[in-house]
A and B are shown apart, each in its own frame.
Chain A
Amino acid sequence: NAGVMQNPRHLVRRRGQEARLRCSPMKGHSHVYWYRQLPEEGLKFMVYLQKENIIDESGMPKERFSAEFPKEGPSILRIQQVVRGDSAAYFCASSPNRQTGTEAFFGQGTRLTVV
């Protein structure tokens, strides 16, 4: 799973700033899933993207959060006007097809701290 690259690994933002989290899927993977892990909780699904398409964003907060997966380049999770409650670990997973199963690999995560 070292093939899924997330950066930065740690990000500190002041309240009101923007946070941009990047995820480069494994080579050949065109499906990306973002998950958020709050302290003391399991991972919660946020959004599922394919190249240039948002397939399922049912787990995304309605405001301030957006995600994209352009034709070229990494997937980006963007959080505008961050608040303390956004502090969490954000994980990205990629798979070569729609069936996650054994073929989904997770990145190391980005730990966002809002001060």
Chain B
Amino acid sequence: EDKVVQSPLSLVVHEGDTVTLNCSYEVTNFRSLLWYKQEKKAPTFLFMLTSSGIEKKSGRLSSILDKKELFSILNITATQTGDSAVYLCAVEVQGGTSYGKLTFGQGTILTVHP
């Protein structure tokens, strides 16, 4: 069975801190790994990673994938209170009828205090 595990499950920091969120996976027919931010509503897309070692950046957020060790990290620098959310990692598989199906981790709850 496909499995995605995130750590830590929750994290409390102060504004300005840097955080690293972890995601490890065990899936068959890996296609891509995606990060989402969820703030009490729809998950919003952050990054999609398909190749090892290539960092994706968007402002203060960055992410990288290691396909050999089967994990990804999401970094947030200079955190702000608006970064408080649940961060979800998901793996997309390919092949057969499972094409496009996402397997999600349980999420990391990030709380940023002023």
Contacts and interface: CB of A to CB of B under 8 A. Distances in A.
Given A91-B43, A95-B100, A108-B41, A42 B88 contact: yes
A1 interface: yes
A41 interface: yes
Contacts of A4: 42
B101 interface: yes
User: Sorted from nearest, which 6 A-B pairs have the closest CB atoms?
Assistant: A42-B104, A100-B100, A106-B42, A56-B97, A42-B106, A43-B104
Q: Chain B interface secondary structure, helix, strand, loop or mixed?
A: strand
What class of interface size applies to chain A in its complex with B?
20 to 34
B74 interface: no
A102 B48 contact: yes
Interface of A: 1, 4, 31, 33, 35, 40-45, 48, 55-56, 58, 91, 93, 95, 98-102, 104-109
A4 B43 CA distance: 12
B106 A31 contact: no
A55 B48 contact: no
B102 A100 contact: yes
Given A40-B106, A102-B48, 14 more contacts: A1-B45, A35-B102, A41-B106, A41-B107, A42-B104, A42-B105, A43-B88, A43-B90, A44-B104, A99-B92, A99-B100, A101-B31, A101-B48, A106-B42
Contacts of B107: 41-42
A56 B42 contact: no
